[in-house]
Amino acid sequence: MAVPPVPGSGDAAARADALRREIERHNYAYYVLDAPTVPDAEYDRLFRELQALEAAHPELVTADSPTRRVGGQPLDEFPKRRHAIPMLSIRTETDTTAAGARTFDARVRKELGLVETDAPVEYAAELKFDGLAINLRYEHGVLVSATTRGDGETGEEVTQNVRTVQSVPLRLRTDQPPPVLEVRGEVFMRRDDFERYNAKQREAGRPTLVNPRNGAAGSIRQLDPRLAAQRPLSFFAYGLGEVQGWTDAPATHSATLDVLVELGVPVSAERRVCRGADALVAFHDDVAARRDQLPFDIDGVVYKVNRLDQQRALGFVTREPRWAVAHKFPAQEELTVVEAIEVQVGRTGALTPVARLAPVFVGGVTVTNATLHNQDEIDRKDVRVGDTVIVRRAGDVIPEVVAVVADRRPHPAPPRFAILEAYPVCPECGSHVVRLEGEAAVRCTGGLYCPAQRKQALLHFASRRAMDIEGLGDKLVDQLVDRGLVHTPADVYGLDLATLAGLDRMAEKSAANLCAAIEASKATTLARFIFALGIRNVGEATAKDLARHFGALDRLIAATEDDLLAVRDVGPIVAQSIVQFFAEPHNLDVVRKLQAAGVRWPESAGVQQSGGRLAGKTLVLTGTLPTLTRDAAKEMIEAAGGKVAGSVSKKTDYVVAGAEAGSKLAKAQELGVAILDEDGLRGLLQPAASSGQRALDL
């Protein structure tokens, strides 16, 4: 949307003020209430209007203008700043079970001198964010400094960087701000922001962040605020530092946080007032169960005595308050050593590299393996045998190696790991492995022969659009493979009634039906057979093109990549896949055994590119044909070089209409497109037929 013209300076001051207020109102709704009031585009328009105004009237710029978040020069170092009130740390309860919460409650009760008959203690329960603690100092409502915790007494002043955190208000939302109000909380990076940032970095070939925590800490400690501004950070408040002149300050911690929200400071909504230990345990368990669905990382929860008079009574031990505790969750990241790198062959033939790890307790379980995804990921992270690595296990997600700890690499450095060098043949079946151009995965070419791919290959082989063996579903395939009855699809044709009837959940009648389906599947088409082989990158349409082009299986087997490139829609990747498939002796062996078992199809001389009675013609099928299913009709048309489209247009050559044809037939009549019935279609396909097409008598 266009930015409105810049007004003269009298109007400009009023307009700039109005814009700032409106933008702050939207920021408040977005960052504090989590309830956006305007679409992003409208927000951007307001923002650009304010930028234009301030550019035309620099005298109108205020320090707390939302346009002034990024500014200032890179620093040589951060100035040190002493905290007016020390930033304490928090005692950590490492017993991650319910006992952790109960121990804390028992200690608080004892120190408050409460006896069993006294009422439960009231607590404020919150999240323990995995970020960087910050003290925000507001003087008369304006943000004047932001300081890290440092050693608790003195921190580093990182104001320029913290100003770039959009959710940190530059001015408090009140007409009567206290002279001094320090807000304490955590700067962190949301997981989606982390992923987005890393994806952009990867695209640009720049280094990525190891995890959101490092991302947050690294950004805040970045000396150039323009670089810090590029890293998307967030902020949640959880307490106060120095306060001066706040006359009607609340009497509890939870009410204090409520007031912060009113002042425009973001506070996580994931907080609860809990009475007694049971309520703390319930909060801990509830958050733990939802931990992975939260948009940011946490490493536990925090319990605080809610009444401020009780907090004062409890006081501190060294640098930790007695009235608060962090109740940890099991760590999701730990360090361990890569003892070996091996591969697992998946159901699609992909060789997935797996790091074998020195056992480490992470995410609540002992982990000994972690996925390395593929060769590109190994290269990107440069993972080598002997490396110390950060392993992450979050929820039920497969553990993964997040990063290598570079300075712990052994000397001399171990060699880089290359899957193709370590595994020139498939560890499951001994077939060759390849990495096709443009693919991330290294794959086994064993296909039908490879045990790791067997079940997948069998299910595909039997599927409706391939050999169409009704009843051969995944439960049966599991049994047949697990019992060693079927190794390759060719073995399916050796199964007898007695064997099938002996399988679990297989009644005599179902076994007989399956036997009949297996027998019936032997009479097939070349296109279905090619598709059934499960050659990588050869889908149903390509299988049809190949069948039409070569007409005979042996011509396809003998085809070179150049021969294959002459087939419609076959490119270098498909051609390479086909050549590699038939170059593998195991695959040819299975093909020959299938033929020997009686699998057969009509062969022809093949129809080269321009051939086919329907080459270049587009047909549309509608209604129910008397004998042909829609699939069969489509197959016949495509075998003759024609294309089947889903809707009728001027470009349609024929509409083949059956019973209860609907709007497509009407459209064909309207456009004057030729209309055929089933016999007409058959006539069109048969060279010898004299009358050829027969128009429907309408």
Minimum distance between the CB of residue 87 and ligand 5U1, rounded to whole angstroms? Answer: 7
Nearer to ligand 5U1, 221 or 319 (CB): 319
Nearer to ligand 5U1, 238 or 283 (CB): 238
Candidates 531, 487, 130; CA nearest to 331 is 130
Q: How many helices (H) and strands (E) does the chain have?
A: 26, 24
Of the chain, the end-to-end C-alpha distance in Å amounts to 55
Is there a contact between 383 and 372 (Cβ–Cβ < 8 Å)? yes
What is the C-alpha to C-alpha distance for residues 567 and 468, in angstroms, rounded to an integer? 26
Nearer to ligand 5U1, 91 or 617 (CB): 91
* Helices 212-220 + 191-203 axis angle, to 10: 80
Nearer to ligand 5U1, 257 or 620 (CB): 257
Which residues here bind ligand 5U1, judged by CB under 6 A?
Answer: 88-90, 126-128, 133, 238-239, 302, 321, 324
CB neighbours of residue 370 within 10 Å:
24
> Does the annotation count 634 as an active-site position?
no
Minimum distance between the CB of residue 314 and ligand 5U1, rounded to whole angstroms? Answer: 11
Minimum distance between the CB of residue 400 and ligand 5U1, rounded to whole angstroms? Answer: 27
**272-275 and 643-645: which strand pairing?**
unpaired
What is the C-alpha to C-alpha distance for residues 65 and 44, in angstroms, rounded to an integer? 15
Assigned token pair, 468:
């169409």
Assigned token pair, 433:
């492995």
Minimum distance between the CB of residue 244 and ligand 5U1, rounded to whole angstroms? Answer: 19
DSSP tag of 571: -
Nearer to ligand 5U1, 225 or 241 (CB): 241
* Helices 585-596 + 572-583 axis angle, to 10: 70
Minimum distance between the CB of residue 222 and ligand 5U1, rounded to whole angstroms? Answer: 23
Candidates 665, 662, 663, 681; CA nearest to 673 is 665
Nearer to ligand 5U1, 170 or 263 (CB): 263
Minimum distance between the CB of residue 325 and ligand 5U1, rounded to whole angstroms? Answer: 8
What is the C-alpha to C-alpha distance for residues 458 and 474, in angstroms, rounded to an integer? 9
Minimum distance between the CB of residue 380 and ligand 5U1, rounded to whole angstroms? Answer: 34
Is there a contact between 68 and 223 (Cβ–Cβ < 8 Å)? no
Minimum distance between the CB of residue 304 and ligand 5U1, rounded to whole angstroms? Answer: 6
Dihedral, CA of residue 554, residue 555, residue 558 and residue 562, to nearest 10: -160
Minimum distance between the CB of residue 335 and ligand 5U1, rounded to whole angstroms? Answer: 23
Nearer to ligand 5U1, 90 or 367 (CB): 90
List, in sequence order, every beta strand (DSSP E) within 246-310: 272-275, 298-305
Dihedral, CA of residue 498, residue 502, residue 506 and residue 512, to nearest 10: 0
Nearer to ligand 5U1, 90 or 434 (CB): 90
DSSP lists the bridge partners of residue 274 as 123
Minimum distance between the CB of residue 323 and ligand 5U1, rounded to whole angstroms? Answer: 8
Residues 6+ apart with CB under 8 A from 620: 644, 645, 646, 647, 648, 652, 654, 655, 656, 664, 668
Assigned token pair, 332:
């999701």
Assigned token pair, 573:
């990747």
Which one from 128, 304, 328, 634 is the annotated catalytic residue?
A: 128
Instruction: Concatenate the DSSP letters of all residues of 330-366 into one string.
Output: PPSEEEEEEEEEEEEE-TTSEEEEEEEEEEEEETTEE
Nearer to ligand 5U1, 100 or 321 (CB): 321
Candidates 365, 355, 361; CA nearest to 403 is 355
* Helices 98-111 + 276-290 axis angle, to 10: 150
Indicate the SS3 state at residue 397.
coil
Distance from CA of residue 624 to its chain's centroid? 43
Minimum distance between the CB of residue 263 and ligand 5U1, rounded to whole angstroms? Answer: 18
CB neighbours of residue 616 within 10 Å:
10
Nearer to ligand 5U1, 126 or 157 (CB): 126
Nearer to ligand 5U1, 302 or 590 (CB): 302
Assigned token pair, 245:
């002149």
Active site residues: 128
